[in-house]
Amino acid sequence: MENYTVLDQVNSPEDLRHLGPMQLNLLCREIRDFLIRTVSGTGGHLASNLGAVELTVALHKIFHSPQDQIVWDVGHQSYTHKILTGRKNAMFTLRQQGGVSGFTKTKESIHDSFISGHSSTSIAVASGLAKAKQIKREQGHVVGVLGDGAFTGGMTLEGLNNASRGGKNLIIILNDNHMSISKNVGRLSHYLSKLRANKRYFKLKDFTKSAIGAVPLVGDRLVETVTNSKAQLKNVVYNTSFFEEMGFIHMGPVDGHDLSMLCDVLGRAKTLGKPVFIHVETQKGKGYPPAERNPGAYHGVPPFDPGSGVDPMPAQDCFSTVFGRHLVRIAEKDNRVCAITAAMKYATGLNYFSKRFKSQGRFHDVGIAEQYGVTFGAALAAKGLIPVFAVYSSFLQRSYDQILHDCSIEKRHVVLAVDRAGLVGEDGETHQGLFDCAFLTTIPGISIYSPATYHALRYSIDRAIGIEDGVCAVRYPRGAQPRFPGGFAEDAKGDFGLNTRGERRDLLVISYGREYAQAAAAVKRLRQSNVAADALCLTKIWPFNPEALEIAKQYRRILFVEEGMRHGGIGGHFLAALHNAGYRGDYFHKAVDGFVEQGTVSRQLEWLGLDCNGILECILQNLSERKQS
């Protein structure tokens, strides 16, 4: 690894106290180089972290973590924070098994004040921590940092509405990289804000206030008059009334790459004794030209060559792109079909739909607002349209009430395209798509598909849009379709597919989605060992096809394997349905219990015993126990 003049000397926030302005600016340049070298080797969120370097250095220069607590919204901006808080030498393990998380985690460091991973939570977290400090009479400030994209999430506005109540030690920082609300800020207000943020402005303001206040008899009234006049002028010219009506002192916008100005502003905010809202402007991808030119492509990146950069287009088909292109073909024939995304147009494959139908008003990006997206879709459905909401499984969790109340009760035909279903790998606990089956099956009248192949995905989308009514979910994994062993059909032929040798009905392994490839591989190896075993692939996983239940009833032993939660999972529901149908054979259920940490998907399957070897071990152990009994 490269040797660095200043960065090599920094192992904790305390080391920043001894650095002067020139050293701090050099440190920022070295951190950017370190980030590019690290993330290009591990993958991760690059552009957002490059844009937050000076802000993070200033925060740790002015505040004293962990007594002062810093809360990072989502965690996409927290890599520099990790570097400065003792994890620099472990950053090469970023997002790897047993390594540094791509998000903040309290169990990873005392400097990580709260877990992150989902957007728009930081104001609520920061205000709660600040209030707890007051109740416990603890010293220190709490600083919540969020990106402008988080303002499209309703929880941010809920936080602003409540945060200022007694939060004297609370500071909220908006890291605005011109992706969202910056259009509301004019150039005049920008100029005046920079003037207000200047150290000389603060000194002059303090001097003027103290000088006027010292005038005998009328000093206090003059101070009040000047303050009120300034507030009126500010509301007319400066246009900061929104945040101040929320109870904050509003500072900024501030140049987020001017380290001296950032330190001045943060130092001033500490002294005010009131809730403060600071608007900081940054450039996403700062310091790395390819990321500056195309920050979207460098938001989340796989390992790459820093010299040649990242290819913004996927090298091969994946479930997301296959879904996106097929939805365009359907919409070409049915003008009722609309598409909705929550700020994930490219990631969910809806860029194809946007390009073709945005001008017709049929594509809708609602921002980071999954709840709104579902209810908005329900309203479209109420007018006879067919909305398809493409959303990550992990983020769909936020929309449970809207699916239940706004879609299900009146049986609105809303299609949920649930991307990243199942294990997602290196993003870890906060992003695993393991819970959607468990909570979606509680929705009355819902239909759920979980295709194992691209062909099955297209089939499922066709049925979800054209055959089903009410709420319908089609869930599919991250990445490409799995490889199947020879002798097993790769395409779904209907609601289910059975691979059998036509022998005695001994053992049946049932699965769905990507996990079926592991089940099929295990069955093939059992057959090679002369164990009579068949495999059943469910494509429609809820409600069950009656014929699938009839097939399963013919086997003496059944193992249900799924890449989802055991409690509330499809395997438990299948057992209940079999029992009600009179099945009395042996039934085993292999699924996920608890949260799954970061690592590659293949390693995660191995840990959980959901790979081919784990399934074999489970089957052979149960067969052995059966013989012994």
Would the CA dihedral through 161, 162, 165, 167 be positive or negative? negative
Rg for the chain, CA atoms, rounded: 28
**Given the residues 32, 82, 268, 284, the one annotated as active site:** 284
The closest alpha carbon to 196, from 254, 277, 267, 246, belongs to: 254
3-state SS assignment for residue 373:
helix
Of 87, 268, 398, 412, the catalytic one is: 398
Considering the candidates 54, 370, 426, 563, report the single residue annotated as catalytic. 370
Q: How far is CA 584 from CA 125, 382, 519, in A?
A: 50, 45, 23
CB atoms within 10 A of CB 581: 13
Q: Which amino acid appears at position 406 of this protein?
A: D
Q: 279: number of CA atoms within 13 Å, CB side?
A: 24
Query: H/E/C letters for each residue in 480-545?
Result: CCCCCCCCCCCCCCCCEEEECCCCCCCEEEEEECCHHHHHHHHHHHHHHCCCCEEEEEECEEECCC
* 35/291 Cα distance (integer angstroms): 12
The H-assigned helical ranges of 310-435 are 319-333, 351-357, 370-382, 393-396, 400-402
284 catalytic residue (yes or no): yes
Angle between helices 53-62 and 259-271 (to 10 degrees): 40
Catalytic residue check, 557: no
What is the rounded CA–CA span in Å between residue 590 and residue 593? 9
Phi, psi of 583 (to 5 degrees): -70, 135
524 is catalytic: no
Catalytic residues: 284, 370, 398
